[in-house]
């Protein structure tokens, strides 16, 4: 009798879990596209909006892997992703020069902003040059929270530090979180201090924070997204046809129109500006 109950309990566990056979059945490999992208495109909700349209249109299934731009490009360089949607131009150029990508096409941009507490102890509000603001952080030893995760945002931040001629790593007023944009913003809000953020994520999270935009509009603060197909000559397993279809979709007029208005209803302004066909150098002019 007791054993019966024990078996019954095991069966119950079995019934609870059911077989995974149906879900686990893999779709034909060429139907899957692995897209490595940045957390900012996922956290803004843009991809959730665009991907169903693409999938319905083409029949592909996109597996979005949202990581930092650095990791996304490492995945591409190892042939572990088919297509990249990233925002780290210097690293992208190196990626292309190394023969890892087929084509690098401009999709959209928004911008980075320096945010901080309204009382602004480092007195950077309204500065025209991001690098000047960064110099003030060092000068006044005001705490700055960095992503520190090799993401596109982190790469941009390092670029600004270089422009300011300061090496912040190891300084008392400089903390690296190793976290995503949302969490890093949250940390800056808690500590009532400064960080560099992309405008999209900031707008999406604004309601929960007491952080203001203090510096914006400097040319160096542009945040540019490109789509790159991974080179199938280097990695034969890459789904190039799918990657190409996705790249074409991102720069198509229909998609660009969606990008133009995405977020207006919710945040009062668009999160991204469509740029297909433009020259990278012409942006922000």
- Residues within the interface to another protein (CB under 8 A): 2-3, 5-6, 8-10, 12-14, 16-20, 23-24, 26, 29, 34, 39, 42-43, 45, 48, 51, 61, 63-66, 78-80, 180-183, 186, 204-205, 207-208, 235, 237
Q: In this complex, which beta carbon is closest to another protein, that of residue 164 or of residue 181?
A: 181
Which residue number, 64 or 252, has a Cβ lying nearer to another protein? 64
Question: Which CB atom, from 61 or from 173, has the smaller least distance to another protein?
Answer: 61
Beta carbon of residue 168, minimum distance to another protein (angstroms, whole number): 24
CB of 207 to another protein, least distance (A): 7
- 105 versus 206: smaller Cβ distance to another protein: 206
- Give 66's strand partners: 37
DSSP string, the chain: -HHHHHHHHHHHHHHHH---HHHHPPPPGGGEEEEEE-HHHHHTTHHHHHHHHHHHHH--EEEEEE--HHHHHHHHHTT--SEEEE--HHHHHHHHHTT-EEEEEEEEEEEEEEEE-TT-TT--TT-S-HHHHHHHHHHHT--EEE--SS-HHHHHHHHHHHHHT---TT-TTEEE--S-HHHHHHHHHHTT-EEEEEHHHHHHHGGG---EEEE---GGGEEEEEEEEE-TTT-TTS-HHHHHHHHHHHHSHHHHHHHHHTTHHHHSS-S-EE-TT--GGGTT-
Q: How far is the CB of 254 from another protein (least distance, A)?
A: 21
Closer CB to another protein, 64 or 241, in the complex? 64
Please, what is the minimum distance in Å from the beta carbon of residue 182 to another protein? 4
* Shortest separation between residue 221's beta carbon and another protein, angstroms: 22
Cβ 93 to another protein shortest distance, Å: 24
Please say whether the beta carbons of 197 and 181 come within 8 A.
yes
Nearer to another protein, 18 or 282 (CB): 18
Residue number with CB closer to another protein (17 or 281): 17
Question: Alpha-carbon Rg of the chain, whole angstroms?
Answer: 22
Residue 129: CB minimum distance to another protein, A: 29
């Amino acid at each position: 009798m007791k054993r019966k109950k024990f078996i019954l309990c095991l069966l119950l566990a079995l019934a609870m879990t059911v077989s995974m056979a149906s879900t686990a059945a893999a779709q034909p490999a060429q139907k899957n596209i692995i897209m490595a992208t940045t957390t900012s495109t996922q956290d803004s909700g843009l991809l959730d909006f665009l991907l169903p349209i693409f999938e319905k249109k083409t029949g592909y299934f996109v597996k979005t892997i949202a990581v930092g731009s650095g990791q996304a490009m490492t995945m591409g360089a190892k042939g572990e992703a088919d297509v990249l949607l990233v925002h780290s131009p210097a690293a992208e150029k190196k990626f292309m020069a190394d023969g890892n990508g087929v084509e690098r096409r401009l999709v959209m941009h928004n911008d980075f902003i320096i945010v901080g507490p309204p009382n602004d102890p480092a007195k950077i509000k309204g500065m025209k040059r991001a690098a000047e603001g960064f110099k003030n952080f060092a000068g006044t030893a005001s705490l700055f929270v960095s992503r520190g995760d090799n993401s596109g945002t982190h790469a941009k931040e390092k670029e600004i530090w270089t422009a300011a001629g300061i090496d912040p790593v190891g300084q008392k007023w400089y903390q690296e979180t190793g976290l995503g944009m949302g969490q890093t913003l949250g940390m800056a809000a808690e500590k009532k201090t400064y960080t560099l953020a992309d405008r999209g994520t900031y707008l999406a999270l604004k309601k929960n924070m007491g952080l203001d935009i203090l510096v914006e509009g400097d040319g160096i603060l542009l945040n540019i997204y490109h789509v790159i197909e991974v080179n199938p000559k280097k990695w034969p397993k890459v789904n190039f046809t799918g990657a190409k279809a996705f790249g074409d979709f991102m720069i198509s007029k229909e998609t660009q129109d969606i990008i133009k208005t995405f977020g207006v209803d919710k945040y009062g302004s668009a999160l991204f500006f469509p740029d297909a066909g433009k020259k990278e150098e012409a942006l922000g002019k």
